[in-house]
Amino acid sequence: MLACGFVEAHDNTLKIGIISPKGDGIAVLAGESHEESIRLAFTHLPPLQVGKLLIKLDLIPWNDNGLPEKAVLGALHLVHEEHVVALLGPVNSGSTKETLKILREQQIELPVISALSTAPELTDSGLRDKNFFRLIFDDADRMGQYATFIKQEKAKEGEQHFLFLYQDNPYGEGLKNSLRNRFYTPNITDLSWRAILQPNCSRQGASYPTDIDAMRSGNCFTEAFMQLMQQYNIDSIVLLGDTPGSLSLVNGLNASASGSNIDYFFVGSNKRLFDEAPPGSMTIGDPVLDPARAATTDLGSDWGKLLDEFEERAKKDRADFVMTAYEAAMVLHSALRIVLSGEESLPDIHELRKSLLSVLESESFDSLEPWRSISFSQGKLDQIPTAPIYRITRGVTREDTLKTHPWVQLSAQSFHPWLETPVEVHLDAHAIEKARLGLFRIDELTNHEYLIEERPVTFSAGQAIERFHLLPRGLYHFKMLDAPFAPARTETRVDLSNHYFISGIAATVGAMLAVSRAPFTVLSWLIRVVTGILTGLLLTFCSFYGQQLSGWIPIPSFGTEPIVNAMLTGLIGGLIGPHLLADLLVGWSRRLVLPSKLQ
């Protein structure tokens, strides 16, 4: 179904590229879930429009198999052949780096919004590419949280020697560097996965096909590595890499009798890790929606419905839902809406890409978490999501502390008829007693917003209602100025409705009936009819709006149906205005005029 007054525009299509790894390769992280989470978001987002045309958004996927060279080929294909307005992805940091590099070399301006690339150098000062925006924390943020947790978990056991085993790629090296720089003890040995394996290791004369197979066998560890395990009596190993490799290392250590009584610390939160990791292991995951930990019951219910829909649509476990991928789609959709507002036709693709980059740098956007809005500083999130920490047992248990996030839920109707009622904003506060609410007017040509009023709000039992008398027509936004809030913007349009038109027609009918049998001149007849119409409109205004201004004035009102109310108040005004109000005006005018003539 299309909105009334709009036509479908098959030739008005915007393409969005999605780069995700899929298949069985060891570099694959969460490709299918990444794409499905994005597709689910776009099914929930409203259509975009340019003028009276609805814009179709076409999602174009590309499988890079987790390989940077394939990500580069995909980016060039999506840019030059598909003419996409933005890229959602890549997933792997290595693929993202190479994609940004080729875009930079070819001087292509194009938003690259990654939901899972965590390498710190992607947003480091002086190194960040102007095309890049990250929807997730970087490794430094996540590993800082992990280091604090491991200290709390292990420091009570006395002096410990930790072994960091990291994958030989940008992802693993980034995790290792970030964790080591923030770890609580210098008693660390770090080795890459390849460094602990014998070169050309074979079994019965046949080489293992991959390093994964060699690690899993337990027969290919170097003698130096086995001696190190015994020398330091290693009982805490941190595995910094993807799930297949990490689990293979654990299997190999157990097979070589070196893995007994070891505490393992992983990175990741996929179902395979939860199913296969040794019981009692710890892992730090990616951002997740946990309905049981939502701030309110209603919010938990909304999250639960979203995860149920993902599970049904993607045919995957709900734990595989990629929250930041869903948010990436939300951000891009909002940025497109801002860029296209006020346009009568689709801009040139190059101008559209440049405008999107500007909007992403300067605007704020909704998040799935109401206490956190999404905005970027040099491509990095200003407010990062939480990294969950799990203890793996027969199920999984969250071990990170539940934090109470203060926030305010705003709600206002999206449309308010002009001069019919004050605009009401309902506020529900969570862990906040006082705050400031701002009213912004939107310039719809430039989409800039201007603060026109701010007022303090004091909550009673966590709730408040603020009323604004918005006489100028137009588009308004409400925002909390000193507290997180949801939605990130509450939009209200104040515009004309047909109720005053209905009132005017009813008043005209009533006025003509009132003067139809009276012997008036044409001029007097016309004046009285006009007076009746104005009386009807005034009475309708008082019925709609006046009750809100003063509760002690007896204002007539006829039920809650605006059309009926407008019709009856207009008719009554039309009937009484030509005689009662007109005679009153004539009488007062004579009193004012006659004394002046006598003088």
| Span 316-335, pLDDT tens digits | 888 889 999 999 999 999 99
Q: Provide the pLDDT for residue 493.
A: 92
| Res. 5: pLDDT tops 50 | no
Lowest mean pLDDT among 305-309, 331-335, 361-365, 397-401: 397-401
Q: Are 60 and 24 part of one and the same domain?
A: yes
- Asked, for residue 387, whether it belongs to a domain, the answer is no
Ordered alpha helix ranges (H), 62-207: 68-80, 93-105, 139-154, 170-182
| Res. 592: pLDDT tops 70 | no
Residues in the chain: 599
Q: Provide the pLDDT for residue 578.
A: 73
Q: Are 280 and 297 part of one and the same domain?
A: no
How many independent structural domains does the chain possess?
4
- Asked, for residue 393, whether it belongs to a domain, the answer is no
State the CATH number of the domain containing residue 58.
3.40.50.2300
Give the whole-angstrom CA distance, residue 338 versus residue 333: 9
- Which of 236, 254, 284 is the last residue before a domain boundary? 284
Would you say 252 and 217 are in contact if contact means Cβ atoms under 8 Å apart?
A: yes
Q: How confident is the model at residue 26 (pLDDT cuts 50, 70, 90)?
A: very low
Task: Give the angle 42-43-46 at the CA atoms, nearest 5°.
Answer: 75
- For the entire predicted model, the pTM comes to 0.75
- Which of 428, 461, 495 is the last residue before a domain boundary? 495
Q: Are 151 and 277 part of one and the same domain?
A: yes
- Asked, for residue 388, whether it belongs to a domain, the answer is no
- Asked, for residue 381, whether it belongs to a domain, the answer is no
- Asked, for residue 198, whether it belongs to a domain, the answer is yes
Q: How confident is the model at residue 9 (pLDDT cuts 50, 70, 90)?
A: very low
Q: Are 455 and 522 part of one and the same domain?
A: no
Helix axes of 31-44 and 297-314: crossing angle, nearest 10 degrees = 120
- The closest alpha carbon to 327, from 284, 375, 390, belongs to 375
Q: Are 145 and 157 part of one and the same domain?
A: yes
CB count in 10 Å sphere of residue 496: 11
- Which of 439, 461, 495 is the last residue before a domain boundary? 495
| Res. 344: pLDDT tops 90 | no
| Res. 32: pLDDT tops 50 | yes
The model's pLDDT over 457-506, given as tens digits with 9 standing for 90+, comes to 999 988 999 999 898 999 999 999 888 888 777 889 999 888 889 988 98
- The closest alpha carbon to 433, from 453, 463, 413, 410, belongs to 463
- Asked, for residue 546, whether it belongs to a domain, the answer is yes
Q: Are 150 and 215 part of one and the same domain?
A: yes
The model's pLDDT over 266-286, given as tens digits with 9 standing for 90+, comes to 998 888 888 899 999 999 999
Task: Pull the structure tokens for residue 242.
Answer: 């993807």
Q: Are 163 and 253 part of one and the same domain?
A: yes
Q: Provide the pLDDT for residue 196.
A: 94
Q: Are 38 and 102 part of one and the same domain?
A: yes
Would you say 426 and 411 are in contact if contact means Cβ atoms under 8 Å apart?
A: yes
- Asked, for residue 399, whether it belongs to a domain, the answer is no
Comparison of pLDDT for 17 and 536, the residue scoring more = 17
Alpha-carbon torsion angle 413, 416, 419, 421, nearest 10: -20
Mean pLDDT (whole number) for 531-549: 78
Ordered alpha helix ranges (H), 394-552: 499-515, 522-541, 547-549
Q: Domain range holding 436?
A: 407-495
Lowest mean pLDDT among 364-373, 447-456, 511-520: 511-520
List all residues 6 or more positions away from 131 whose beta carbon is below 8 Å from its beta carbon: 100, 103, 104, 108, 109, 110, 111, 112, 357
